[in-house]
């Protein structure tokens, strides 16, 4: 990864690397993370 960053820096394209790593623009990753969330949360009941 460091080599890619060095090449991008040399070409003046290093700013694009930050946008590439930004998780807010990763729609596929967001959809996969949302699908992995539990559908329902159940609270534990105490026996009295």
Q: What is the DSSP letter of 44?
A: P
User: Which has the closest alpha carbon to 8: 22, 43, 16?
Assistant: 16
Q: How many CB atoms lie within 10 A of CB 3?
A: 7
> Do 17 and 8 meet the contact criterion of CB atoms below 8 Å apart?
yes
For 10, the token pair is: 């040399």
pTM over 0.75: no
pLDDT band, residue 48 (cuts 50/70/90): low
| Rounded CA separation 34/25 (Å) | 14
What are 8-37's pLDDT values in tens digits? Answer: 889 988 887 777 778 888 899 899 999 998
């Amino acid at each position: 990864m460091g080599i890619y960053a060095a090449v991008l820096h040399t070409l003046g394209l290093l700013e694009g690397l930050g946008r590439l790593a930004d998780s807010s623009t990763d729609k596929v990753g967001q959809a996969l993370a949302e699908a992995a969330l539990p559908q329902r949360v159940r609270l534990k009941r105490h026996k009295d």
